Amino acid sequence: MRLYAISVYLFLYIPIGVIAVFSFNSGRHASQFMGFSTKWYGKALSNPFVMDALETSLIAAFLTACLAASLGTMAAIALQGVSGWLRTLFDALIYIAVMIPGIVIGIATLIALVTVFGWVNPMLAALWPEGAAAPQLNMGMGTLVAAHTMFTMALVIIIVRARIAGMDRSLLEASQDLFATPWGTFRQVTLPLIAPAILAGFLLSFTFSFDDFIIAFFVAGSETTLPIYIFSSIRRGVTPEINAIGTMVMAASLMLLVIAQILLRRGAAKSG
């Protein structure tokens, strides 16, 4: 079993290591290592198209993480008061949202948005004053953030609900015995206890949104995220610049995932 585990890890991480090593290649070809150099990192960071795509990805990921953390936390708290078959139904819907392949979510979201735009845009044109151009709903940053929020919100709900389940209920009862209002109990007791889970959900949502390509490819419209830029660049050939971009994205994603895991473990340790 130990040999099997080592083989699996090598299979998973050797390609990633090769990308990281060849990102320091001084040559122009990604498959031929001509010497150690960091010039491709500088070239990637000075590329205006890379910077524009990075800015788009960061904005979309931040907005997605904020919405997913807020809505997911509210949904997780609300589901604590639901029981019976209705709770089973909501649980099934949450886990289905996590398990469904990204391409299915992307296609379904694209069809839903196109259908809604087909209804709303004619209504806006009819209600808008004559002589003025009516606004048109199109694919872009809004649809990208909405699609990512729907997907990542399920992750936040699962994480926050797990933290709520491990809370000491006697603290909530003590707060009620001391005549605290529901809002006061939430602000002074519940929120500090679930804050690590909320922050971990925020970081995971940011990471998933930032790294996503499949869903963004369908709903981003004219917006170009960093994964979309990398995909379009790979179609023209892999260069050490692409390796450098991939290495930086991988390092940032791993850092956020490690921070989220540390926060979850500390929260679990505090709750015993």
pLDDT digits (tens, 9 = 90+) for 249-268: 888 878 877 887 787 677 66
149 or 166, which is more confident: 149
| Residue in 52, 55, 13, 37 with CA at minimum distance from that of residue 240 | 37
79 domain residue, yes or no: yes
252 domain residue, yes or no: yes
pLDDT bin (cut points 50, 70, 90) of residue 67 is: very high
pLDDT at residue 26 is higher than 80: no
pLDDT bin (cut points 50, 70, 90) of residue 149 is: very high
* Helix (H/G/I), strand (E/B), else coil: 36: strand
Q: State which residues form the domain around 201.
A: 51-270
Task: Return the CATH number at 105.
Answer: 1.10.3720.10
Using an 8 Å Cβ cutoff, are 213 and 227 in contact? yes
Please give the pLDDT value at position 66.
Answer: 94
238 domain residue, yes or no: yes
Q: Which two tokens stand for residue 147?
A: 């699609």
Average pLDDT over residues 182-198: 79
Average pLDDT over residues 102-115: 89
113 or 38, which is more confident: 113
Number of domain units in the chain: 1
Sole residue written with tokens 């949450």 = 94
Residue % of the chain over a pLDDT of 70: 93
34 domain residue, yes or no: no
pLDDT digits (tens, 9 = 90+) for 210-222: 888 899 999 988 8
Using an 8 Å Cβ cutoff, are 145 and 212 in contact? no
Please give the pLDDT value at position 268.
Answer: 60
Using an 8 Å Cβ cutoff, are 72 and 136 in contact? no
- Our CA angle for 193, 62, 87, nearest 5°, is 50
66 domain residue, yes or no: yes
* Helix (H/G/I), strand (E/B), else coil: 22: helix
pLDDT at residue 272 is higher than 60: no
Q: Residue 36 pairs with which residues in a beta bridge? A: 25
Residue at 64: amino acid letter: T
DSSP for residue 272: -
Cα-based distances in Å from 117 to 64, 121, 216: 21, 6, 18
13 domain residue, yes or no: no
Using an 8 Å Cβ cutoff, are 64 and 145 in contact? yes
71 or 246, which is more confident: 71
Average pLDDT over residues 196-203: 87
DSSP for residue 166: T
* Helix (H/G/I), strand (E/B), else coil: 25: strand
15 domain residue, yes or no: no
- Our CA angle for 153, 154, 159, nearest 5°, is 95
Using an 8 Å Cβ cutoff, are 184 and 171 in contact? no
Which segment, 11-25, 104-118, 124-138, 225-239, is predicted with the most confidence on average? Answer: 104-118
Please give the pLDDT value at position 31.
Answer: 67
Please give the pLDDT value at position 22.
Answer: 79
175 domain residue, yes or no: yes
Please give the pLDDT value at position 166.
Answer: 74
